[in-house]
């Protein structure tokens, strides 16, 4: 797979009848025939391959350097396609699909084993979603096969929210990249397991626990997301993720303590970067200060989070000190990603 020429297709996501574009038709055909192609979704860019073809799935794992016990999310264009992949759709899942699809919610259901066993890492369940992005939907409709797509980054790095991020990580390692501009939500979909009577959140994301509970009543959160030592039910959650090159620390009570912590590290000879928001940026003196969205609107922080983490990689710094965020609404997903990026190091 390496040393191959990656094809770039640029499409305007706002035009009508995207399916008719040659760029979409070409990219969709490559996917259908077993090549891997990156494309935008409303959350992050995905690296898509035909979920029915073992070799296509191999290519995804190889291009990303992804551990093979970490299953992939299958993307489809319609609920009818879901029926072809699962042995059962419980009522609670049906309700969630109707409320949140297309959208940033991935639903885990009992698999009928029609996709490649590599997709599900031999589990008896399958994770499925309909993305809310016109380019993704046009591609899925054209390809007309279930498309397995993890985030289109090298394993362990921040997920890509622009085609340039994908190019940075995977140029020459994949067949093509469909550039449909910057993604919107910025953090990945919420993964919810609907195989048990009470749905369980396995990964926090674009849809919040409250939003889910509003539709299906009580929802649990996989205890492994909060407790050290227990095994997460979503295999991918156990791996280091989203990590920039420089070592990262989260700073609690940053309003009182950030500058002091910055000064201590700088006095020890370290070059220090600060991850803050537009509200906080002028408060700090450090080697590098990068604002990520507006604190008063956490959705903007989510949108820019991965891009900001990648920006730090463009500078020579030894460590990144990040402000923390309230674990409410999309703040739960933001803090989940920041804690992973920091390897849970909190000051």
Q: How far is the CB of 159 from Mg ion (least distance, A)?
A: 5
| Closer CB to ligand TXA, 190 or 277, in the complex | 190
* Rounded Cα–Cα distance for residues 52 and 14 (Å): 30
Q: Which does 72 bind (CB under 5 to 8 A by kind): ligand TXA, Mg ion, none?
A: ligand TXA
Closest CB to Mg ion belongs to which residue?
151
Q: List the interface residues with ligand TXA, window 202-231 (CB under 6 A).
A: 202-203
Q: How far is the CB of 309 from ligand TXA (least distance, A)?
A: 15
Q: How far is the CB of 327 from ligand TXA (least distance, A)?
A: 19
- Asked if 73 touches ligand TXA (CB under 6 A), the answer is yes
Residue 31 parent element (H or E): helix 22-32
Task: Please pick, from the candidates 9, 31, 34, 46, the single residue that binds ligand TXA as defined by CB under 6 A.
Answer: 46
The SS3 assignment for 114 reads coil
From 103, 289, 90, 310, select the one nearest 193 (Cα to Cα).
Answer: 90
Q: Which does 44 bind (CB under 5 to 8 A by kind): Mg ion, ligand TXA, none?
A: ligand TXA
Q: List the interface residues with ligand TXA, window 99-138 (CB under 6 A).
A: 104, 106, 108, 120, 123, 125-127, 131
Could you say which DSSP state residue 159 is in? P
User: Binders of ligand TXA: how many residues, by CB under 6 A?
Assistant: 30
List, in sequence order, every residue forming a beta bridge with 323; answer none if it has no partner. Answer: 251
Asked if 18 contacts 77 with a C-beta cutoff of 8 angstroms, the reply is no
Query: In the Cβ-directed half-sphere of 260, how many Cα atoms lie within 13 Å?
Result: 8
Q: Where are the beta strands (DSSP E) in 37-189?
A: 37-39, 46-50, 73-75, 105-110, 125-129, 147-148, 176-179
Q: Which tokens belong to 263? A: 């000064």
Give the per-residue contact string, 135-174, with ligand TXA (x = CB under 6 A; - = no): --------------xxx-----------------------
Residue given tokens 């463009």 in the structure block? 314
Note if the bond before 165 is cis, omega within 30 degrees. Answer: no
- Asked if 180 touches ligand TXA (CB under 6 A), the answer is no
| Closer CB to Mg ion, 241 or 304, in the complex | 241
Residues of this chain that interact with ligand TXA (CB under 6 A) are: 41, 43-44, 46, 70-73, 104, 106, 108, 120, 123, 125-127, 131, 149-151, 188-189, 191, 202-203, 233-237
């Amino acid at each position: 797979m390496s040393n191959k020429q990656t094809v770039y297709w640029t499409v305007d996501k706002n035009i009508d009848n995207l399916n008719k574009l040659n760029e979409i038709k070409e990219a969709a055909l490559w996917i259908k025939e077993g090549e891997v192609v990156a494309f935008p979704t409303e959350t992050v860019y995905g690296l898509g391959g035909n979920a029915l073809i073992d070799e296509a799935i191999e290519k995804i794992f190889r291009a990303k350097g992804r551990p093979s016990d970490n299953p992939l999310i299958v993307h489809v264009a319609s609920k009818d396609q879901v029926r072809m992949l699962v042995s059962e759709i419980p009522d609670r899942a049906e309700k969630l699909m109707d409320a949140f699809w297309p959208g940033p919610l991935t639903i885990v259901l009992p698999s009928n084993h029609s996709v490649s066993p590599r997709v599900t890492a031999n589990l008896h369940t399958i994770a499925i979603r309909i993305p809310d992005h016109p380019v993704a939907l046009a591609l899925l409709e054209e390809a007309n096969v279930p498309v397995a797509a993890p985030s289109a980054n090298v394993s362990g790095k921040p997920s890509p929210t622009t085609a340039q991020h994908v190019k940075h990580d995977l140029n020459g390692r994949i067949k093509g990249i469909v550039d449909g501009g910057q993604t919107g939500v910025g953090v990945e979909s919420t993964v919810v397991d609907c195989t048990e009577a009470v749905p369980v959140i396995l990964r926090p994301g674009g849809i919040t626990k409250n939003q889910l509970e509003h539709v299906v009543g009580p929802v649990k959160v996989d205890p492994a997301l909060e407790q050290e030592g227990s095994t997460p039910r979503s295999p991918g959650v156990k791996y280091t993720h989203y990590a920039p090159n420089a070592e990262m620390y989260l700073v609690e009570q940053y309003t009182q303590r950030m500058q002091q912590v910055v000064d201590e590290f700088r006095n020890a000879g370290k070059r220090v970067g600060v991850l803050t928001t537009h509200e906080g940026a002028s408060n700090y003196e450090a080697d590098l200060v990068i604002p990520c969205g507006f604190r008063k609107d956490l959705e903007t922080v989510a949108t820019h989070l991965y891009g900001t983490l990648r920006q730090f990689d463009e500078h020579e710094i030894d460590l990144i000190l990040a402000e923390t965020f309230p674990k409410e609404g999309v703040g739960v997903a933001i803090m989940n990603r920041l804690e992973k990026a920091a390897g849970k190091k909190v000051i």
